[in-house]
Amino acid sequence: AEFIRECAQSKGLKLTLGDKSKLRKAWKQVKTGGWKGGGGGGGSVAPVGAATTTDTKKKGGDEEKPSKDILNLLTELKIEAYAQEMSKSKHWSQFGGKPSVQTLIDMTKQDRTTLLLAINMKPGHRLKLERHLSTLKATLPKYICDMKVSDVVVGKGCLGLGTKLGEKNVSMAFLGEPVTKGVGMYPKAKGGAKALFVIPKGTPSGALAGGVALNDSQKGRMLGKGVLFRIRMTTNNSIVWASNHVSAKGSKQEFFFAWSEEKLGNLVQLEVVCDGLNVNAPAMWIDPRIILGQNDAPKPVVQPEPPVKKPGPVPPPPFPIDPPGPMPRPYPHPGGGDIITKRLLRSGGMTNGYLHRLRRGRDNIQLESASASMKEAKSVPRTTCKK
């Protein structure tokens, strides 16, 4: 009431503390951002707090809202008074610019202390927050992309971890939603891609969960069947999960099964199989992680290794065939011309070529021989026998 009365007096308006109805009305207007004074002056009076807020908005824009993630964390610890200041992006510029509980946990203790000192958090509250973050760190999922990796084979670019697909300046996203803890691998044509990750020893048992899809950057549908995703535990060389073939973006398949170091080991290999061309095959694993303490997950179905076609015996080379020689000439032929000529003359085929001339010559020879025989017969005198 005193605040409102002073505002009214600063504008030359008369408002006594006894005017309860006007005070209530003015106070409601103050809470909503402004107050129009009553009484003789009839002017409008902006409360001091509202004017200050307006000036702040004009200078720096709308005040940043506290991050829901940070607000929920601090509310649970009953220190939510720091949420507004802690959510300002200037404190997170060197950690990606986006405030989150996961980023707070992933910080080193020195970086986290620097941030808490920057927001003027009291020592007792800092200790309370540190203890709570230590508890959360032991229960939060362990993401595969944060683990040690080796034996990388990709067909294009490099292995993508976190937000990057592996191609140049390409980020992972599914239906417009960014992927922040993924694994991207572009497979080879008629081959595939793979990467071996080492789960830290001593990790509590839980469930291995995540999803697979083709990135939103795919420009067109793949030819053929597409790609196949597989999870292999190399400790016992068993395939514990395999997807259906995926050839177009927008289709997502998820996996969720029990994992323990004793049964499956700590070496997990993510594979992408591509039987055909690798055009338009930006394969990605969406947030593969181990959910600690998830004891109700179904057991993995160990799939048999696909049969490998062994090469059969090499057939012997075919029997060598000599190249054909030149075609034999019917006549004359050295060393066998007479035989060939006789065979041709005995054949009954008709032709107007060389064989016909041979036959005609043979007939002429026979006629000449017959004529000569007749002439000789005529020249021999006849002898008569007398009885």
Tell whether the model's pLDDT for residue 43 goes beyond 60. no
Task: Out of 103-112, 322-331, 361-370, pick the least confident.
Answer: 322-331
Helix (H) or strand (E) holding 257: strand 253-259
Residue 19 near residue 29 (C-beta atoms within 8 A): no
pTM listed for this prediction = 0.55
Q: What pLDDT sits at residue 234?
A: 87
Q: Is residue 226 left, alpha or beta, with left meaning phi > 0 and alpha meaning psi from -120 to 50?
A: left
CATH code for 143-292?
Answer: 2.60.120.1060
Query: What integer best gives the mean pLDDT of the chain?
Result: 79
Task: Kindly list the domain boundaries of the chain, sorted by start residue.
Answer: 2-60, 68-140, 143-292
Q: What pLDDT sits at residue 39?
A: 43
CATH topology of 68-140 equal to that of 143-292?
Answer: no
For residue 4, the tally of other CB atoms under 10 A from its CB is: 22
Q: What pLDDT sits at residue 49?
A: 38
Q: What pLDDT sits at residue 286?
A: 95
- Residue 172 CB burial class (10 angstroms; 0-12, 13-18, ≥19): buried
Across residues 269-278, what is the average pLDDT? 91
Across residues 42-47, what is the average pLDDT? 41
Q: What pLDDT sits at residue 207?
A: 94
Q: What pLDDT sits at residue 48?
A: 38
DSSP-derived 3-state class of residue 361: helix
Q: What is the DSSP code (8-state) at residue 146?
A: G
**Which of 32-36, 222-226, 363-367 holds the top average pLDDT?**
222-226
Cα separation, 376 vs 240, in Å, equals: 112
Question: Which of these, 165, 163, 197, 159, lies nearest to 180 by C-alpha position?
Answer: 163
Q: What is the pLDDT of residues 123-153, one digit of tens each?
A: 999 999 999 988 888 788 899 998 999 999 9
Q: What pLDDT sits at residue 250?
A: 92
> Which listed CATH number (1.10.150, 1.20.1070, 3.90.1150, 3.30.70) goes with 68-140?
1.10.150
Q: What pLDDT sits at residue 46?
A: 41
Q: What pLDDT sits at residue 149?
A: 94
Across residues 168-172, what is the average pLDDT? 89
Q: Which is higher by pLDDT, 255 or 365? A: 255
Across residues 186-201, what is the average pLDDT? 92
Q: What is the pLDDT of residues 225-253, one digit of tens each?
A: 899 999 999 888 889 999 999 999 999 99
Please, which pLDDT band fits residue 258 given cuts at 50, 70 and 90? very high
Residue 156 near residue 227 (C-beta atoms within 8 A): no
Q: What pLDDT sits at residue 91?
A: 86
Q: Which is higher by pLDDT, 273 or 23? A: 273
Cα separation, 51 vs 57, in Å, equals: 10
